[in-house]
Amino acid sequence: MSAIQLRRMVWFVAALIFAAALSPGLAAEPSGGAPGLTLVVTDPLAAPLSCPCVKGYAQRDYTQLAAHLEKSLGRPVKTLFSESIGKAVGTIGKGEAARADIVIGKRSVVVAQAEATERPLTPVADLTDMKNSTLQRGLVVVRGNDPATGIADLAHHRVILGKAESAEKHAAARALFAAAGITISAEGPFAEACSDGAEEVIKAPSDAQPVATVISSYAQPLLEGCGTIQRGDLKVVAETAEVPFITAFVASSLDEPTRQRILDALLAVRHDPLLRLALETKRGFVPLDAQMPLEPGEPKKSEGSGATPAGGAAVPAAIGNGDWPQWRGEQRDGLVAWLPATLPEKKNVRWKQVLFSEGLGGVAVAGDRVVVGDRDGTDQEDLFHGLDRATGERVWTLRYPAAGKLDYGNSPRATPLLHEGRAYLLGAFGHLHCVRLADGQEIWKRHLREDFSAHDELVWGACSSPLVVDGRLIVNPGAPEASLVALDPATGAVIWRTAGAPPAFASLVVGELAGRRQLVGFDKVSCGGWELATGERLWSLVPRVAGDFNVPTPVLLGNRVAVFSENNGARLIGFDAAGAASVVATQASLVPDMHTPVATAGRVYAVHRGKIHCLAAADLTPLWTQADRSLKGHASIIASADRVLLLTAAGELILLDAAADRFAPLARHKLFAREVSLHAHPAVADRSIYVRGPGSLLCVSLEEAPLASIPSGG
């Protein structure tokens, strides 16, 4: 037995032991609740199926994904690791008990194994790698000193392909050789693994027929890292067309709602930077049509043809973003599925609508409506406008008296919340209206300060944006007996109220911390968590230095929370098994007083005091910091898995590579010819950004190609 075969056997046995340890009693259904699910992982880059030879590579921790699925689905998820679906389920019994509900592995291999075991599986999503690709290819290699330099030079070589189930080493390789006029025998030879083929090439006698083989592109770093080959032993002379790599499948026998929930949970991985790090993925899972694979033998597309844009993300023209229905987007994290590879050279304004004030409140987009708060010309009334999403035409306006005097003007601060056909609109003085999203007709209204006896001084007004979660509309009047309140979204009736401190200006988020789903946010004096069902205070942290304004929204980082303030800097909060909170890391150099940072690509991006900061999400360690002339004052940040987009107070868009090791803008674009000072958070929906400028709302395309010109609304 060769050293290579021995190493592979050791790792395979370890994988079986690991799988067995993770999967006791899998055949039994859990008592009560929904039945458990089985996750079978055949991904060759999973930690139990690979070896730790290359730091940070081929050590994907799917146990963390299983934990995420359990939380998202509310069902136990058992994880099995194996090179074969049949071998995996064979370790846990027969029949229903041996089912594979979710399978993640090389697409072509899973398809072949599913057919062989008569196991109907449906592909639902692809996993991106750290370069944001869902594809791989085969590499045609020869001995390092072989005179061959291209595929045409291999006509007289003994060619070893991979097994038929490995598309990159078989079907795609056959197509490549066929295009060069080289016939490969259907009888083989075939290599079971990349290491086997590489060993054949290296050990072939120098006076015998030269040998070529095909190895997987993902395996190339491992062959050198594990010592199977030494640098220079092999030479790549050709590459096959790209084929899909790691795909998630669900059992076709599962009901449609369950399959959809599994898909939603997989797609939600993109919002968790620590989980993405664990899975060695840049953008998490993406729908199957998010990156169209080439068929074997199809020539690779050139730049600009709809393949990978210059500079990064492999995102075709069909990919865009959905709604932006509330503060900081769908998940309140400032993340979107798509940002462009670069910014248009010329500003492409889809539409422009006049507003009566500059305003501070953010923009919300859902269905066919865009909703934004405003203030009338006399500064005595709040206005909220419902605009047509496609044209910007004003469809409805809600107006009501709201006299008073606040610092930084009197217009609404909270971003509208658009949910299930309703719009929840909160003014700076505490007026809360629920209206129909389609036509603005009032459904119910309340006054948060008057109804709940909140008497603290309104310096900046009611700023925290309402939140709907688990059938409850969460608001924070900040009254002594009603610090937080849950209302019935349909009627405005009180579900629960909890005593506490006056309100903060930051908005609340929902996270799962220490195994408990909860509200996370601030009151005037502390950060904490609250039980969703009752409002009970679960934990509280009072900062070392008192007097923070508590404006930035907390940022969820897996099972931790990052908070930011002007007196106490950046703090990373962790939790023990009992749910007790403590500060586990700090970064005193980052002290934003208004701006909320964003987390993507395992990093936290923030702006303050004329500088952009890039921190490691795991421990807030500074990765780099850079001053820039445009970063004076406030900034809003939106991010995708591979891009970071800044909107500065001066109205300039700055696009960055999320994985860059320094501040090197991919593109910059000024949206306004004259000097402006922006504070309202923009919305990013479809392929456009909605920016509140001085006296107007702009919908600006983020695509290079100009869209059809649409007249401004009146």
Nearest CA to 238 out of 179, 305, 293, 183 is that of 179
What is the token pair recorded at 99?
A: 């089912």
- Find the radius of gyration of the CA atoms of the chain: 28
Strands 37-41 and 102-106: parallel
Half-sphere exposure of 403 (CA within 13 A, CB side): 0
Q: What is the pLDDT of residue 318?
A: 39
Residue 556 and residue 273: Cα distance in Å, rounded? 9
Domains of the chain: which residue ranges?
3-129+245-290, 138-240
Instruction: Please state, in angstroms and as integers, the Cα–Cα distance from residue 25 to each residue in 20, 74, 78, following that order.
Output: 10, 19, 10
Residue 688 and residue 171: Cα distance in Å, rounded? 40
Which residues are within 8 A (CB) of 317 and not within 5 positions of it... i.e. 6 or more apart?
A: 306
What one-character DSSP code corresponds to residue 16?
A: H
Tell me if 3-129+245-290 shares its fold with 138-240.
yes
For the segment 271-310, what is each residue's pLDDT rounded down to a tens digit? 888 899 999 998 899 887 544 333 333 333 333 322 222 2
Residue 698 and residue 686: Cα distance in Å, rounded? 14
Q: What is the pLDDT of residue 584?
A: 95
If one compares 89 and 100, the residue with the highest pLDDT of the two is 100
Residue 201 and residue 186: Cα distance in Å, rounded? 20
- Residue 519 bridge partners (DSSP): 510, 530
Mean pLDDT of 357-379: 94
DSSP state string for 238-259: EEPPPEE-EEEEEETTS-HHHH
What is the token pair recorded at 422?
A: 């309703």
For the segment 133-159, what is each residue's pLDDT rounded down to a tens digit? 899 999 999 999 999 989 989 999 999
For the segment 636-685, what is each residue's pLDDT rounded down to a tens digit? 999 998 999 999 999 999 999 999 999 999 999 999 988 888 999 999 99
What phi, psi does 6 have (nearest 5°)? -65, -45
What one-character DSSP code corresponds to residue 378?
A: T
Nearest CA to 687 out of 266, 337, 347 is that of 337
Which CATH fold topology does 3-129+245-290 show? D-Maltodextrin-Binding Protein; domain 2 (3.40.190)
Which helix (DSSP H) or strand (DSSP E) does residue 473 occupy?
Answer: strand 472-475
Which ranges in 335-435 belong to alpha helices (H)? none
Tell me the pLDDT band of 98, cut-offs 50, 70 and 90.
low
For the segment 228-273, what is each residue's pLDDT rounded down to a tens digit? 778 788 999 999 988 999 999 999 989 988 999 999 999 999 888 8
Sign of torsion, CA 579 581 582 585? positive
What is the token pair recorded at 344?
A: 């248009």
**Mean pLDDT, the chain, as a whole number?**
86
Strands 158-162 and 211-216: parallel
What phi, psi does 5 have (nearest 5°)? -65, -40
Which CATH fold topology does 138-240 show? D-Maltodextrin-Binding Protein; domain 2 (3.40.190)
